[in-house]
Chains A and B, each alone.
Chain A
Amino acid sequence: MKTKNNPEGKDKIRMIAIMTVSLCVIATGILFSLNSFMKGDTAGGTAGAFIAVIIFAFAVFVFIRGNRDLKGGFPLRDERSGKVIEKATSKAFYVTLYLLLLIGFLSDDIIKFRDVSQAMGIAVGGMAILFAVFWAYYNRKEF
């Protein structure tokens, strides 16, 4: 949608990109979950399904909000929202490093992962959830 604040329709392209990536992640989560259930791994399947549901909810929220803003003539991203995303991304990245260390530490004795891909899936899903949490936090915070 071409508007004064969005002369080249970049926001519409950004919206399509966000939705495409979200759908790919959700599809991967569902496949991962189904694969785990078929192999008898209930915990892994449940974790995959949980991550897919969380990302689906976040994608629906982003889609509704983005569509409303585009129709209202507002940009999808501005100075403040850009800073919120930057802060949420960097914090999610740092905390994910600790999450990876924790997964590595726990995978020896406490948690039995089926294979490396399952542990990686948990780490990536965890990063996505952390990003959503930090985004919600910084979106309300004063800075």
Chain B
Amino acid sequence: MKTRIKELRARYGMTQEDLARKVGVRRETIVFLEQGKYNPSLKLAHDVAKALKSRIEDVFILDG
């Protein structure tokens, strides 16, 4: 799975720590999400998308 978290974070001037605090997760979770190495639950995906003022499908892109 690919994500646009890093790009959207940069757009809003947010650090990984800022996003982690906003969503209520650990910083490592944001790192793994950005690298596409963790498939989040629907709730976490929703929270991340909301924090980045985007829709889930614009943040998380499924391969194939």
Mark A residues whose CB is within 8 Å of B. 4-5, 69, 72-75, 78-81, 139, 142-143
Contact = CB atoms under 8 A, between A and B. Distances in A.
B39 A79 contact: no
A79 B41 CA distance: 8
The size bracket of the interface on B is 10 to 19
B26 A75 contact: yes
Contacts of B40: 79
A74 B38 contact: no
Interface stretch (B6-14, B27-35, B50-58): B27-35
Given A80-B38, A142-B37, A72 B17 contact: yes
Given A72-B17, A79-B40, A80-B32, 15 more contacts: A5-B24, A74-B25, A75-B26, A78-B25, A78-B29, A79-B29, A79-B44, A80-B25, A80-B26, A80-B28, A81-B29, A142-B32, A142-B37, A143-B38, A143-B39
Given A4-B21, A5-B21, A79-B44, A74 B26 contact: yes
A81 B26 contact: yes
B27 A74 contact: yes
Contacts of A139: 28
A79 B37 contact: no
